[in-house]
């Protein structure tokens, strides 16, 4: 379920930004080799989660060139089914945040199925869709995580590594909210979505300090 980010923020819930690295692009064929996640709320980071995962197959060379994860790095690492309980506990009760969330959710659900577990039932905020709503009209490539991070001056330490991408996703999420909350000294919404506009108006009516109220 892709979750409207305004609902999520307005409810003051805890979030978990997460990212996966995989052996390829097809969830029905490829496997997760790394998960990184950071749980946070309005006050800041609560906890971090990061693990490499043994995929029971070799990593294609073109994939290793992108994420710099090699087969040698995965020797003696746990399989997904060995870490699924820990990860499930880590994200319990939080709204998930991911960039191009459908990709990561599909891979997680495929892995959960292999472990004979139920698919994710969490609400999910997609920062890719959020950026498209808040900043319509950018070129397609400008909505990539690293390009948005550059636009907002966010530091990227290790692109295409799950732990750092999860942190950047969290910072992008909070930065986009704060950016619009502080426009012209009050809550200004540039999104085209009628739902987002309506909810922003409701938030404006309930608080004159929107940056504090939102996040």
160 counts as catalytic: yes
- Per-residue pLDDT at 183: 52
Q: pLDDT digit string (tens) for 71-91?
A: 999 999 999 999 999 999 999
- In DSSP notation, 87-156 reads HHHHHTT-EEEETTHHHHHHHHHHHHHHTT-PPP-S-EEEHHHHHHHHSTT--GGGGSHHHHHHHHT---
72 is in an annotated binding site: no
> Is it the case that residue 36 has pLDDT exceeding 50?
yes
- Higher-scoring residue by pLDDT: 171, 4: 171
Domain with 11 in it: what CATH number?
3.30.420.10
The catalytically annotated residue of 10, 12, 157, 160 is 160
What whole-number distance in Å separates Cα of residue 119 and Cα of residue 96? 14
21 is in an annotated binding site: yes
pTM higher than the cut 0.85: no
62 is in an annotated binding site: yes
165 is in an annotated binding site: yes
- SS3 of 62, please? helix
- pLDDT-based confidence at residue 199 (cuts at 50, 70, 90): very low
- Higher-scoring residue by pLDDT: 44, 1: 44
What's the number of domains the chain is made of?
1
Q: Which residue range(s) make up the domain with 124?
A: 5-214
Q: pLDDT digit string (tens) for 157-196?
A: 766 789 999 999 999 988 887 766 665 344 434 344 444 4
């Amino acid at each position: 379920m892709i979750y409207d980010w305004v609902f999520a923020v307005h409810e003051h819930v805890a979030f978990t930004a997460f990212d996966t690295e995989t052996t390829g692009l097809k969830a029905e064929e490829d496997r997760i080799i790394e998960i990184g996640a950071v749980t946070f709320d309005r006050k800041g980071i609560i906890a971090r989660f990061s693990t490499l995962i043994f995929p029971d197959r070799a990593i294609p060379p073109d994939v290793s060139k992108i994420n710099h994860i090699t087969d040698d790095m995965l020797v003696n690492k746990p399989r997904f089914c060995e870490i699924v309980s820990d990860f499930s506990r880590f994200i319990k009760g939080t709204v998930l945040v991911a960039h191009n969330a459908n990709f990561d959710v599909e891979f997680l659900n495929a892995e959960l199925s292999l472990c004979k577990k139920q698919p994710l039932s969490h609400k999910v905020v997609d920062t890719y869709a959020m950026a498209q709503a808040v900043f319509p009209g950018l070129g397609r490539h400008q909505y990539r995580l690293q390009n948005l991070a550059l636009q907002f001056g966010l530091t990227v330490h290790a692109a295409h590594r799950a732990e750092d991408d999860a942190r950047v996703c969290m910072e992008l999420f909070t930065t986009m909210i704060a950016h619009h909350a502080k426009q012209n000294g009050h809550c200004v919404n540039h999104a085209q979505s009628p739902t987002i506009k309506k909810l922003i108006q409701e938030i404006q009516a309930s608080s004159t300090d929107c940056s504090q109220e939102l996040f």
